[in-house]
A and B are shown apart, each in its own frame.
Chain A
């Protein structure tokens, strides 16, 4: 299968109808113009997606997923939350009722009272990702969903968004799309989780765009823990249009190729955002975290801390961009990336990129790539702790400060358990 076959297949699957046709058609034109990024593309230097797409995928495939089967794949803690499911890229939940929250198919939202919001904000991540991947998703936006939280509403339980691929019989290409609007003073916790049911290749090209108004608080989590045949490009794009607080935590535990784009656009003064990431990789998993903080307005604060543990032949990539536009005086932007390599075959690439056009700002960045501290390991072993447990203790200690940022107690406990199991902690 060639690249032009892939492009043809996307064009064939495209439906030039419906309420979102204008933005979709533009996106398809962009897709055809940009094509699929190769490693020659600066932003895709370390992450090869073109080969992954050269598979005879069923695109946004029809499916019939038995609820009992799906049940086994949900995060155990999600039973205490609200569930939104996407099946093969299509919004599949209809009967969800949350106080103060409206959930609609995106195509419907575009014809409702919310159409002005959709027109204004949908697709804003495209500016930051001028590539065929972002455009490809937008070309299928009609399958997406819109989530609106009304003014002052504090959503009582976390909302779990599950992106489910039914790759049991055929390889699947899915393009789920979320547009979330958090009104003034509202609060919400959102957990995005990827599920695949089979062992055929599956590729999920997902975008969530979140607009955050004044005094709103968003806690966002992403959990990636799939088999070695599942790949993702997962884009989360926040626009803070009022002074607000956004926390985003990305936990990547397994999969084939995982590319996470996390953008924070600080369009209002005194915005605050925290970005945390933990990638705990083994086998041949490749995980690439690209973050962008775009300080447009003055007095914003952002902090990011990404930590990676690479075992086996895995690869971790961190690319952290910080823009400080010329009006964004008094910006505080901090960034740190720390990596531990457990084998000689594992690798880490880390690149901070600061573009600062204002003169009164505080920005810092730092990165480390190393092995476990030998002296610490010896100290633990000299107290009778086995080498394996000593390593587990140190790695857990390394990872734990990321988990501390997960506000939802059941989710934090669950992720902690996953990590402890992975680290084979054994008294």
Chain B
């Protein structure tokens, strides 16, 4: 589904990603972990098309298409979803109208008729249950005055509405208490199936207790330096990121 090869990216002349290689197949959940500043969020941003980052090398193939060549909106319409680490508050834009616009523009791109008011509401009701989100929240301005947990639940709700093939969750666990984390994880798990895939970007192992990954990758200094299964995440939790740094120092020294 997604094949990243030799991806390099920089922001304001500063090199952040230094050759990422990663392949994600349908049905898989990958977790990207790493210390602060390792490039985790940069990777998520570059995949979603955030303009501040400049891709300086490498390719990203998504379902046979060149992802890096597409506008952010076309990436979304093709089925890439980024759950933001910091969802943006937009006063004056109602959450419902926003989602309706997003859903219908995406449907149009995919050659589908726009959802009429009745089926849109029906779909919304269904997906709201996934993350326990309340109708009153959706009639408010987008994310305005939402608590941290509400914002993250809203992200997962949007994901469910847009039905992406690949969902990238950028530190979706940050700032969540354990109950909110459970709700968010539960939403993700219900959406998870054999045809879609997830890339979880996280600093802590905690999220992975709830959303169990198939693969765990450690990002350090702009490269994936270690890959493994969920046991790797446990090890990181136990030993901290220093053990990776030490291992690297040893191998580079030799």
A348-392 interface code vs B (CB 8 A; 1 in, 0 out): 000000000000000000000000011110111111111101100
Docked-complex contact B73 and A384, CB < 8 angstroms: yes
Q: Which A residue sits closest to B103, measured CB to CB?
A: A384
**Inside 8 A of A427's CB, which chain B residues have their CB?**
101, 104-105, 114
A61-101 interface code vs B (CB 8 A; 1 in, 0 out): 00000000000000000000000000000000000000000
**Inside 8 A of B87's CB, which chain A residues have their CB?**
379
B196 contacts A by Cβ under 8 Å: no
Give the Cβ gap from A386 to chain B, nearest Cβ, in Å. 5
**Inside 8 A of B98's CB, which chain A residues have their CB?**
380, 383, 385, 393
Given A379-B87, A381-B72, are A397 and B102 neighbors across the interface (CB < 8 Å)?
A: no
A401 contacts B by Cβ under 8 Å: yes
A13 contacts B by Cβ under 8 Å: no
B77 contacts A by Cβ under 8 Å: yes
Count A-B contacts at CB 8 Å. Answer: 78
Most chain A CB atoms below 10 A, which of B48, B98, B141: B98
Residue among A379, A386, A394 making CB contact with B84, cutoff 8 Å: A379
Most chain B CB atoms below 10 A, which of A376, A379, A394, A396: A379
**Inside 8 A of B51's CB, which chain A residues have their CB?**
374, 378
**Inside 8 A of A382's CB, which chain B residues have their CB?**
48-49, 72-73, 75-76, 81-82, 84
Docked-complex contact B50 and A378, CB < 8 angstroms: yes
**Inside 8 A of A378's CB, which chain B residues have their CB?**
49-51, 72
A14 contacts B by Cβ under 8 Å: no
Give the Cβ gap from A175 to chain B, nearest Cβ, in Å. 39
Docked-complex contact B101 and A385, CB < 8 angstroms: yes
Give the contact stretch, choosing among B26-34, B56-64, B88-96, B210-218. Answer: B88-96
Given A374-B51, A384-B102, are A379 and B93 neighbors across the interface (CB < 8 Å)?
A: no
Q: Please, how many angstroms separate the alpha-carbon atoms of A380 and B77 in the complex?
A: 12
Give the Cβ gap from A381 to chain B, nearest Cβ, in Å. 4
Docked-complex contact A385 and B73, CB < 8 angstroms: yes
Q: Please, how many angstroms separate the alpha-carbon atoms of A398 and B75 in the complex?
A: 27
**Inside 8 A of A398's CB, which chain B residues have their CB?**
92
B42 contacts A by Cβ under 8 Å: no
A198-214 interface code vs B (CB 8 A; 1 in, 0 out): 00000000000000000
**Inside 8 A of A375's CB, which chain B residues have their CB?**
88
A400 contacts B by Cβ under 8 Å: yes
Docked-complex contact A381 and B92, CB < 8 angstroms: no
Given A379-B87, A382-B82, A427-B101, are A396 and B72 neighbors across the interface (CB < 8 Å)?
A: no
**Inside 8 A of B162's CB, which chain A residues have their CB?**
383-384
Docked-complex contact A389 and B76, CB < 8 angstroms: no
CB interface residues, A 154-189, toward B, < 8 Å: none
**Inside 8 A of A385's CB, which chain B residues have their CB?**
73, 98, 101-102, 105
Give the Cβ gap from A102 to chain B, nearest Cβ, in Å. 42
**Inside 8 A of B114's CB, which chain A residues have their CB?**
427
Q: Please, how many angstroms separate the alpha-carbon atoms of A384 and B50 in the complex?
A: 13
Q: Which B residue sits closest to A392, measured CB to CB?
A: B101
Q: Which B residue sits closest to A375, measured CB to CB?
A: B88
Give the Cβ gap from A385 to chain B, nearest Cβ, in Å. 5
Give the Cβ gap from A394 to chain B, nearest Cβ, in Å. 7
Docked-complex contact A383 and B93, CB < 8 angstroms: no
Q: Which A residue sits closest to B74, measured CB to CB?
A: A384
Give the Cβ gap from B88 to chain A, nearest Cβ, in Å. 4
Q: Which B residue sits closest to A397, measured CB to CB?
A: B92
Most chain A CB atoms below 10 A, which of B48, B88, B104: B88
B71 contacts A by Cβ under 8 Å: yes
B172 contacts A by Cβ under 8 Å: no
Docked-complex contact B93 and A384, CB < 8 angstroms: no
Residue among B75, B92, B104 making CB contact with A400, cutoff 8 Å: B92
Docked-complex contact A384 and B105, CB < 8 angstroms: yes
Give the Cβ gap from B20 to chain A, nearest Cβ, in Å. 20
Q: Please, how many angstroms separate the alpha-carbon atoms of A380 and B101 in the complex?
A: 10
Q: Which B residue sits closest to A395, measured CB to CB?
A: B92
Given A378-B50, A380-B98, A427-B105, are A386 and B92 neighbors across the interface (CB < 8 Å)?
A: no
B100-115 interface code vs A (CB 8 A; 1 in, 0 out): 0111111001000010
Residues on A lying within 8 angstroms of B by beta carbon are 373-376, 378-387, 389-390, 393-394, 396-398, 400-401, 427
User: 5 tightest CB-CB pairs across the interface, nearest first?
Assistant: A397-B92, A384-B76, A383-B102, A384-B106, A381-B72
Residues on B lying within 8 angstroms of A by beta carbon are 48-51, 71-73, 75-77, 81-82, 84, 87-88, 90-93, 98-99, 101-106, 109, 114, 141, 158, 162
A selection of 16 A-B contacts at a CB cut-off of 8 Å is: A374-B51, A376-B90, A379-B88, A382-B49, A382-B75, A382-B81, A382-B82, A383-B98, A383-B102, A384-B77, A385-B101, A385-B102, A386-B105, A389-B105, A393-B98, A427-B104
